[in-house]
């Protein structure tokens, strides 16, 4: 499918559904005009697996309690819900695997210089292009509903600069082309569902070498802010569970959460 030089039209259920892979066509596909948060919506539904898209979120969520801002029909607001029983690998690794999946999808659309800032900020030349938010709800011991929320800036109005408190970029600015959000949604949904369905078999193993090609922090001195402390060290990649490795003088420490300042 050719994703460029098409109108940035409204999301179309029929157009998206007919192009989804056969392994996920039986999962509900929900497209909402307006919702508070696609992640919140997905978490509260009874379905054990579903895909949800929205034209606009009134309370879109990002990591660390931040707000995800995406004006009406200017980006892609996507959430996918999957239930796991007895998952042998940590959710922190799934978070990384999905970030790699999104980065690969954008790269394969012809977007060069894609980078990932741990754990899941997708950047282009230091500007945020996309972000992920993984949330879960524990139902019983070792049974979780997991929702991954993905936001991608497709063609944002310039007045968005006032509301967004960090450097950002969209696909239109990078390429000068208008991308079909319907076909972009198909690519992301198919690839992310494949990762969600295969992660229980091998965890992060197959994603680690690919992560290294996108890792913008490797070898840099950074400051990591966690709820308990702030530490300064040199980023040394991630481990098999998706934890950030920091070299602090003569010791290595591992972190599963936190915000980073360069």
Cα separation, 161 vs 169, whole angstroms: 10
- Cis check for the bond before 119: say yes or no (omega within 30 of 0): yes
**Span(s) in the chain for CATH 2.30.30.100:** 217-261
In this prediction, residue 73 carries a pLDDT of 75
The CB density around residue 8, as the number of other CB atoms within 10 Å, is 17
Name the strand (E) or helix (H) holding 208: helix 208-214
Cα separation, 116 vs 50, whole angstroms: 26
Arch. (CATH architecture) of 217-261: Roll (2.30)
Residue for token digits 């998206």? 16
Given a contact cutoff of 8 angstroms between Cβ atoms, the answer to whether 170 and 129 are in contact is yes
125-176: pLDDT as tens digits: 999 999 999 999 999 988 999 999 999 999 988 755 546 667 899 999 999 9
**Span(s) in the chain for CATH 3.30.930.10:** 13-212
Burial of 65 (0-12, 13-18, 19+ CB in 10 A): exposed
Distances (CA, A) of 75 to 64, 110, 115, 171, 203: 21, 18, 19, 9, 30
**Average pLDDT, integer, range 52-79:** 80
Nearest to 50 by CA among 38, 37, 34, 62: 38
Residues with Cβ < 8 Å from 22, sequence gap 6 or more? Answer: none
190-242: pLDDT as tens digits: 999 999 999 999 999 999 999 999 999 999 999 999 999 999 999 999 999 99
**Entry pTM:** 0.92
CATH classification (class only), 13-212: alpha beta
Cα separation, 230 vs 101, whole angstroms: 30
Mean pLDDT of the chain: 91
For residue 244, pLDDT beyond 60 = yes
């Amino acid at each position: 499918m050719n994703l460029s030089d098409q109108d940035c039209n409204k999301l179309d259920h029929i157009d998206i559904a007919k192009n989804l892979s056969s392994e996920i066509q039986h999962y509900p596909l929900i497209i909402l005009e307006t919702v508070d948060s696609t992640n919140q919506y997905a978490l509260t539904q009874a379905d054990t697996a579903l895909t949800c898209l929205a034209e606009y979120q009134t309370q879109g969520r990002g990591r660390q309690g931040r707000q995800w801002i995406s004006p009406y029909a200017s980006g892609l607001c996507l959430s996918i819900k999957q239930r796991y029983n007895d998952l042998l690998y940590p959710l922190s690794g799934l978070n990384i695997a999905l970030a790699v999946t999104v980065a690969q999808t954008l790269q394969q659309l012809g977007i060069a210089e894609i980078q990932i800032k741990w754990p899941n900020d997708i950047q282009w030349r230091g500007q945020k292009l996309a972000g992920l938010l993984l949330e879960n709800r524990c139902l019983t011991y070792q049974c979780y509903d997991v929702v991954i929320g993905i936001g991608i800036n497709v063609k944002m109005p310039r007045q968005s600069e006032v509301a967004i408190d960090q450097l950002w970029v969209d696909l239109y600015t990078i390429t000068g082309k208008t991308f079909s959000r319907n076909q972009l949604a198909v690519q992301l949904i198919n690839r992310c569902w494949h990762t969600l369905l295969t992660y229980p078999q091998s965890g992060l193993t197959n994603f680690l070498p690919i992560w290294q090609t996108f890792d913008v922090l490797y070898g840099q001195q950074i400051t990591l802010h966690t709820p308990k402390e702030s530490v300064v060290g040199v980023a040394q990649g991630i481990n098999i569970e998706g934890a950030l490795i920091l070299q602090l003088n003569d010791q290595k420490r591992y972190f599963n959460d936190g915000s980073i300042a360069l």
